[in-house]
Amino acid sequence: MNQKAPSEPKLTNATIICSLAFLASCFMFAYLSYVGVSRTGLMTPVIFGCVVALIAMRPLVDSDKQTALYFAFGVLTVMIIFVYETYGYTGKVRNFPLIIGYTGIVICVLDILSLSNRVVGTTITRTFGSQLDESEMGGRKVKRELITFAAMGGCVLGLWLFGFLVFSPIFVGVWMLAGGKTVKNALFGCIFTLFFNYFLFEVAFQYELYRGKLFIWLLDL
Amino acid sequence: MIEALNETVVALGTASLHFLSIQSLLYLITGTCIGLLFGAIPGLGGATALALIIPLTFGMEQSDAIMLMGGSMAATSTGGSVSAILLNTPGMAPNAATTFDGFPLAQQGRAGEAIGAGAASSALGGLIGVFTLILVIPIAKAIVLLFGPPELFLLAVFGLCAIAVSTGDRLIQALITAVIGFICAFVGFDYISGIIRYTYGIDMLYDGIKLVPALIGLFAISQMIDLVVKGGSIANSDALNVKIQGVTGGVKAVFRNWTTMFTGSAIGTFIGAVPGVGGTVAAFLSYSTQVQRDGNPDVPYGKGNIKGVIAPESANNAKDGGSLIPTLAFGIPGSAETAVFLGAMILHGLEPGPTLLQEHTDEIYTLILSLTIACVVATLIVLVLARPMAYLTLVDAHVLAPMVTIVALVGAYALHGEFGDVIVALMFAIIGYLMIRFQYPRITFTIALVLGEITERSFFQTMGVSDGSWAVFVTGAPAISLLFLIALTLMVPSFRTWLLNRKQRKGGVA
């Protein structure tokens, strides 16, 4: 208690202005709810408030945690959309979802605040537990992540077009080649995948795997 | 008491009939092998193995499916000890405590002894955990009857809070993922009101987000994305040049140090029964208890003391039996693995909670026997095939990832024969990866997704019974006790910080 609190970084003009704008959006939301504006109308101050809150928070968060901040705001957006959608239902249907939605919004706000390098952030982190393991955050390259997502998306697209039996071996082979494996190893991987899928599902389980949209189109022709 | 004992014996006898068929035994052994493999390969783990197994169980008899999954559940921790001892790379997080003395033993040329001790203590620990489960089930049967809708609702909330707190320093994030899990559980046809919610006109969402594709994406594929993004081989070690001999000596060492094994098993069973605390805490607590108990050891801990292998391994396997107590009795899973298992049970028409204990005793005892036999089979396999298993951990991510991804996607499709499920698996894979990347625990998400419907139903029934009054949640001893437990659980991180600060202040003064 007697320890002197570490000095906080100075607030930037952007943070101050956006914080004031955020407060204004909160008042606007309260007023619009009071006068009984529709839920779509209420979304205007909510969206405005989220945008200015993001701008206000950015300088308060260390550079290595910026992506975590964007992710936290993404999650908050999901919660807000969920609450908005829930108000579209009536009666008892929305009771429990609303409890969950509002709880989610409160926790998301705590999550966002916990990322800040100010006293409020460290207090929340210490009180509730929200410590970010920075070594886990640093070892990942966004480009590599996007390539992997694209590969997974491409895989699903390929499976949709060509079916499991045709595309699975191709996917495995191409991935192994791209990962620096020899052609022989990649070929082995292809054959293994083909036989595994064919014997396990088509022969052992007597299950017809998806043949692919192209095959279905060809049959239609 | 005698009646309960008779009932247990009869149920065990009926369940054991399933094991007379060769086909069922083959399922059990296959599950055990899959569990060992996924346990040994670092970064995969039991939840991934189960997520991949679920689609294979579709169309199987309930008992066969339970044997396949039970075999896998029982074997993963045993598999994880092999890579921990030989490579200093724990197959799963709970095996980390085994590396402290297991790897030094391997370096001293006593790898076989360490593996023997690890495997034998795993088997015995597992058996003790399962035996406790058998003893507790009749008592649990009586307790669950005291629980009405308000208590069940509070119990689900307590389970989620306990698991969220157990995620360590990420309580807020764990609660957020729980909320997202609930949101996903709300999607689709609402059985209470009879309307369709949050589907945005997408037909395939009318039945809700299907559990199995979601779990496959969340655990199997997202783990592969993580491996690929991190790159390289899974276990970066060239420490496989050790000789594996003296396995029998290791097995004998467990019997010589039976008190260590029993203490570890007791700790594991108890910790396992607390929702969410899991094997890692059990293994480390058992290890530290052993170090404290053994004041003046012949060989210092951390330098290759065989008791340092026995203590965590027995606790780690004993927790499986313990964690099934809240899972089977109340539908509150004790770990990510049991959460996935719960999903699989629902798929096979076994809804966890009071009705399961009352009406499906046959399936429960089949599971118990599966766990028992799998413990022994896994140990025998490890004792014979330790070295080839360790080599498997050196497999490159670029070989493993595409193969596991394809098997996972085929599994997601095969369950209902709908390509939409493959897309759901992909979406959840990306969500799961983002959770790993930004350290949002996946376990609370899974549990909320699994328990969402039951929780909402309990809430709805409670409100119906009480005429909308919230006072029902503070009426009666079980409800008040649960509320007290929830409050206490949520205060744990603050209490931990307070203790830490106090310790630091004392240290500063000294």
Walking along chain B (510 residues) 10 residues at a time, the average pLDDT comes out as 73 77 87 86 77 81 86 85 77 79 82 86 88 81 75 83 75 91 91 84 86 85 86 54 69 88 88 72 83 78 86 87 79 76 82 73 82 85 76 75 88 84 93 90 84 85 83 82 86 79 69
For chain A, the domain total comes to 2
What is the rounded distance in angstroms from the CA atom of residue A97 to the CA atom of residue B311? 45
Separation CA A190–CA A197 (nearest Å): 11
For the four alpha carbons of B211, B215, B216 and B222, in that order, the dihedral sign comes to positive
The pLDDT value recorded for residue A217 is 86
- Domain assignment present for residue B404? The answer is yes
Question: Which residues of chain A are within 8 Å of residue B439 when distances are taken between CB atoms?
Answer: 132-133, 136-137
DSSP letters, B184-241, are HHHSEE-TTT--EES-TT-GGGTT-S-HHHHHIIIIIIHHHHHHHHH-SBSS----TT
Residue partners of B475: CB distance under 8 A and separation at least 6: B150
B214 in Cβ contact with B448 (< 8 Å): no
Q: At what angle do helices B258-273 and B247-256 cross, to 10 degrees?
A: 80
**Interacting residues of B130 by C-beta distance below 8 A, sequence separation 6+:** B320, B321, B368, B371, B372, B375
- Dist CA B274 CA B185 (whole Å): 24
What local confidence, expressed as pLDDT, does residue B243 receive?
62
Q: Which of B351, B446, B495 is nearest to B159 (CA)?
A: B446
* Amino acid, single-letter form, for residue B506: K
Q: Write out the E strands in chain A.
A: none
Same domain, A176 and A69: no
The pair of structure tokens assigned to B214 is: 């979601």
Tokens of A129: 């537990």
Q: Which of B217, B433, B224 is nearest to A142 (CA)?
A: B433
Q: Which residues contact B385 (CB under 8 A, 6 or more apart)?
A: none
pLDDT score, position B510: 47
d(CA A181, CA B350): 45
Provide φ and ψ at B156, rounded to 5°: -65, -45
Residues of chain A above pLDDT 70, percent: 92
What is the SS3 assignment for A66-117? Answer: HHHHHHHHHHHHHHHHHHHHHCCCCHHHHHHHHHHHHHHHHHHHHHHHHCEC
Q: Which of B230, B419, B493 sits opposite A210 (nearest CB)?
A: B419
Q: Output the CA torsion B455→B461→B464→B466 (10° steps).
A: -80
Of A105, A133, A161, the last residue of a domain is: A133
pLDDT of residue B324: 81
Q: Give the minimum alpha-carbon distance from A70 to chain B in angstroms, rounded to a whole number.
A: 11
d(CA B251, CA A110): 51
Dihedral angle sign, alpha carbons of residues B251, B257, B263, B267? negative
Same domain, A165 and A112: no
Interface of B with A in 202-231 (CB under 8 A): 221, 225, 228-231
Q: Are residues A100 and A199 in the same domain?
A: no
pTM (predicted TM-score): 0.79
Residue B209 lies in a domain: yes
Q: Are residues A162 and A116 in the same domain?
A: no
Interface test with B, best of A96, A106, A109 (most B CBs within 10 A): A96
Q: With H, G, I as helix, E, B as strand and everything else as coil, classify residue A6.
A: coil
Tell if the CB–CB gap between A126 and B59 is shorter than 8 Å.
no
Measured at the CA of B354, the angle between CA B151 and CA B14, to 5 degrees, comes to: 165
Cα B494 to chain centroid, rounded: 27
Contact B438 A164 (CB under 8 A): no
Asked if A112 and A197 sit in the same domain, the reply is: no
d(CA B339, CA B335) in angstroms, rounded, equals: 6
CB A92 within 8 A of CB B192: yes
Residue B423 in contact with partner chain A when CB distance is under 8 A:
yes
Please compute Rg for chain A using Cα positions. Answer: 26
Q: Is the dihedral of CA B167, B171, B177, B179 positive or negative?
A: positive
Q: How many CB atoms lie within 10 A of CB B442?
A: 24
What is the rounded distance in angstroms from the CA atom of residue B107 to the CA atom of residue A127?
Answer: 43
Residue at a domain's end among A78, A103, A133: A133
Test A124 with B172 for CB contact under 8 angstroms. Answer: yes
Residues of B (362-401) whose Cβ lies below 8 Å from A: 396-399, 401
One domain, residues A146 and A129: no
Could you say which of A85, A181, A210 has the minimum Cβ distance to residue B399?
A: A181
Summary count for chain A: helices (H), strands (E)? 10, 0
Q: How many whole angstroms from its chain centre is CA A64?
A: 18
How many Cα atoms within 13 Å fall on the side-chain side of residue B508?
9
Q: Would A185 be classed as within a structural domain? A: yes
Please judge whether B169 and A129 are an interchain contact, meaning their C-beta atoms are less than 8 angstroms apart. yes
Q: How far is CA B1 from the centre of its chain?
A: 31
Chain A within 8 Å of B143 (Cβ-Cβ)? no
Choose the closest CB to A171 out of B406, B417, B434: B406
B92: left (phi > 0), else alpha (psi -120 to 50), else beta? Answer: beta
Secondary structure of residue A202 in the 3-state scheme: helix
Residue A204 resides in a domain: yes
Helix %, strand %, coil % of chain A (to 5) = 80, 0, 20
Q: Are residues A170 and A127 in the same domain?
A: no
Q: Is the same domain home to A96 and A75?
A: yes
In the numeric block, the tokens 């706000």 are attached to: A109
In a mutational test of the B interface, the residue from A85, A103, A148 whose CB has the highest number of chain B CBs within 10 Å is A148
Domain-located, residue B292: yes
Q: Do residues A53 and A119 share a domain?
A: yes
Cβ-based contacts of B423 with chain A (< 8 Å): 156
C-alpha–C-alpha distance, residues B33 and B378, integer Å: 7
Same domain for A205 and A151: yes
Nearest CA in chain B to A70: B438
Cβ atoms of B217 and B432 closer than 8 Å: yes
Reported ipTM exceeds the 0.85 cut: yes
Name, in order, each residue with C-beta under 8 angstroms of A36's C-beta and a sequence gap of 6 or more: none
Residue (of B165, B9, B249, B148) closest to B491 by Cα position: B165
Residue pair B339/B350 in contact by the 8 Å Cβ criterion: no
Inter-chain residue contact A192 with B422, CB threshold 8 Å? no
DSSP B301-316: TTS--THHHHHHHHHH
Based on the structure, what is the number of domains in chain B? 1
The phi-psi region of residue A91 (left if phi > 0; otherwise alpha if psi is between -120 and 50; otherwise beta) is left
Q: Looking at the structure, do residues A174 and A104 belong to the same domain, yes or no? A: no
Given A133, A164, A180, the domain boundary residue is A133
Q: What is the DSSP letter of B393?
A: T
Residue with tokens 């707190």: B165
| A189 phi and psi angles, rounded to 5 deg | -60, -45
For chain B, the 3-state helix, strand and coil shares in percent, each to the nearest 5, are 80, 0, 20
Domain assignment of residue B386, given as a range: 2-235+248-390+397-509
Check if the beta carbon of residue B93 is closer than 8 Å to that of residue B280: yes
Which residue in chain A has the smallest CA separation from B410?
A: A164
- Indicate whether A4 belongs to any domain: no
B139 touches chain A (CB under 8 A): no
Within a domain: B241: no
Q: For every one of its 221 residues, what pLDDT tens digit does chain A have, with 9 covering 90 and above?
A: 444 445 566 778 888 888 898 899 889 888 888 888 888 888 888 898 999 889 888 888 888 888 889 999 999 999 999 998 898 888 778 888 999 999 999 999 999 998 888 888 888 887 777 677 766 666 678 888 999 999 999 999 999 999 999 999 999 999 999 888 899 999 999 999 999 888 878 887 777 888 888 888 888 77
For residue A82, the model assigns a pLDDT of 92
Q: Domain check: are A110 and A27 in the same one?
A: yes
- Residue-number span of the structural domain to which A148 is assigned: 142-216
Torsion of CA B250, B256, B257, B259, to 10 degrees: 140
Q: How many whole angstroms separate alpha carbon B191 and alpha carbon B392?
A: 46
